[in-house]
Structure 1
């Protein structure tokens, strides 16, 4: 594909950066799919909310929501998986899951706590003494609930300059914190909440330090295999497995651009580099939110809540636990995580017993900095879906 200009916002920040990829045509409406049952009642209302989101200024070319109660699953979708085609988004399509990957690092770390290899009060100084001495008092608990004060490496001008020069640059994922190694903590550890991508890089490094195994292997052993996640991986490169949901930069009046493979995953690693599918994400969040992966004492520690929103904010009132968020909506409570990355915005959530779940994926990046009005609409639509999920 000829290389041309690509606009994107870093997956968490307001800073705009120029990269290079090819341009594609504008949005295409998806036709009805033969053989799909017609929706009625509440289904019609939910489907209309998706269509409204699709038509909103800067809205996504594609949406897929998987709502599951027990063994009964409903799939809602709007738009297309790739512009220029009539292919609908599928639950087996691969996609970048963005910061929902932080829950995976939480699943690894909390299982290592259960095994006695890590403690929630273990410090960076004890487990990662090579990191800056100013950070040594930070605990695993504080990393998992974003009260560490670690400076966010995604803000690094040096990192952004590398990406501007080469969007496909392959970083040494285990050295990402070097970009902010000369910076002090933003505040005393534990004193306040501040979402930071550096936190989950440090979590993965702690897991590697106490096991002597690569984080990617720990994911396979502790998460993918037990939950039968056959289409989930943590790549280093920029390519996606086929088939995949194409992610887009949608910033009218600029042309819509395919940014699916614009960046390598090595620059986000344990903080947001996982590739998965709606089907696998559904399996994961049902087990994770339901506490199936960890012991009751560890889960009790995980569910100690304090004020703090995921990024982007999820539906309702947000509170943070250990690598999990509580979303208190007008219809009830679910646990989960959100995420955004160029081309993708994600929500995964489930009831505290794990028996009801929602994954909600759209194919453009939406956050409080780049599209605040669309984010408000997205959160409203997600809350309607959660109310449908919780309806008796």
Structure 2
């Protein structure tokens, strides 16, 4: 997940592995991957248009599609990303679905639209949805303290489930811990338990009082995964299958039990390693990202999920309204709700973890959906590569709503904008996992 930084990858901040992994998770982390280097089809920096009261989007006619082809090809070449899958859907204005580059650098196999990818911190949207389903069932309350469900959490009697989902708990992100980084990079195939991840986090003091400010932390979502297990009486995987993936009809999305990665899938590459050498991270065990960034999905499932999560299809209207109560993050144009963010009008999350990055977002004003999947978490000029693609694409298609997250900070605890994270490669980014 690049440690799921993608809000930041799984939303973390990015460092060379160890912290690199964490960053990816935050992704993803969503905010982490915000790129400020998007390009127009001509190769010049994309401008930030002034928003108006009448949101608009260009029809995806042949001329616009050609501009997108050119812009995406240029970003692919400039960032060094092996391959990317892109989907843009706009009711009444057409669709744009393409795959560029290669899925396997060894064989030269072309990227294709049907491949599964690891989605890092986008996992957070699924985990928090499962939590909110339990809220709707009356099994948990958003203002319950985490100490009601998990023992040993620093300041746990004062931290609510809501604050965990909002990334406002003050808890240290385990993916920032040097000992965790060392353990992960020494053995990427190692299986971590949720309690082991929490142990790394709880070795550090609380950073601030709950609700005081926003700070992307993968620790928050690991705790929410444990809450789901206790309140539902099922494993996190079983609950996600029953309460989220099944009702949503997402047959090609899964929460893996181990390092399994169903075919067909792209190979994933990372240079966020201790020695800076590129590694194939495809089959690294994602247990270190767990509820914050371990999931796998594909283009079409994420297309459906973008709308479902942004419109609240699986939740009661009052619960969805609480989810979309976006609070300040400190990043321009970006707010964070309950396991979801809004960036310049786009609602969703990004993700990142070693080898992969993603962005899945929905624009309510036009009912547009955008999904981007890449098979590397390597950054570009400090930004998540997925953000660079997203900025270039929205600069052409929705110029009044240009997706743009700032570069990730040095520490994965601060979403650089997964919020992921990718991790999530995700970001915000996150890369949570």
Aligned to 2:382: 371
Q: Do the aligned partners of 1:82 and 1:245 also contact (CA within 8 Å) in 2?
A: yes
Q: 1:88 aligns with which of 95, 110, 114?
A: 110
Q: Distance in 1 between matches of 2:307 and 2:384?
A: 30
Q: Does 1:69 align with 2:90?
A: yes
Aligned to 1:384: 395
Q: Does 1:361 align with 2:382?
A: no
Aligned to 1:17: 17
Q: Distance in 1 between matches of 2:373 and 2:391?
A: 14
Q: Distance in 2 between matches of 1:275 and 1:184?
A: 33
Q: CA deviation at 1:226?
A: 0.8
Q: Does 1:307 align with 2:333?
A: no
Q: Does 1:281 align with 2:302?
A: yes
Secondary structure of 2:103 counterpart: coil
The residue correspondences of 1:93-132 to structure 2 (distance < 5 A) are 93-128=115-150, 130-132=151-153
Q: Do the aligned partners of 2:259 and 2:286 also contact (CA within 8 Å) in 1?
A: yes
Q: CA deviation at 1:334?
A: 2.0
Q: 2:287 aligns with which of 266, 288, 291?
A: 266
The residue correspondences of 1:1-392 to structure 2 (distance < 5 A) are 10-11=3-4, 12-17=12-17, 40-56=62-78, 58-70=79-91, 73-128=95-150, 130-249=151-270, 256-261=278-283, 263-308=284-329, 317-328=333-344, 333-352=345-364, 355-366=367-378, 371-372=382-383, 377-384=388-395, 387=398
Secondary structure of 1:184 counterpart: coil
Task: Pick the structure with greater CA Rg.
Answer: 1
Q: CA deviation at 1:249?
A: 2.2
Distance 1:386 1:366, change over 3 A: farther
Q: CA deviation at 1:323?
A: 0.9
Matched length: 352
Gaps of 5+ in 2: 5-11, 20-60, 403-433
Q: CA deviation at 1:380?
A: 2.2
Per-residue CA deviations over 1:258-307 (Å, capped at 9, x if unaligned) read 2222x211110010000111111111111111111111111111111112
Q: CA deviation at 1:63?
A: 0.7
Which deviates further from its counterpart, 206-215 or 378-387? 378-387
Distance 1:366 1:147, change over 3 A: farther
Instruction: Using structure 2 for the length normalisation, give the TM-score.
Output: 0.74
Q: Do the aligned partners of 2:86 and 2:99 also contact (CA within 8 Å) in 1?
A: yes
Per-residue CA deviations over 1:197-226 (Å, capped at 9, x if unaligned) read 011111111111212111111100111111
Greater RCO (CA < 8 Å, at least 6 residues apart): 2
Distance 1:227 1:73, change over 3 A: farther
Q: Distance in 1 between matches of 2:244 and 2:163?
A: 22
Q: Distance in 2 between matches of 1:87 and 1:133?
A: 49
The root-mean-square deviation of aligned C-alpha atoms, in Å, is 3.0
Per-residue CA deviations over 1:139-162 (Å, capped at 9, x if unaligned) read 111111101111101122232222
Distance 1:374 1:112, change over 3 A: closer
Q: Distance in 2 between matches of 1:321 and 1:169?
A: 32
Distance 1:159 1:390, change over 3 A: closer
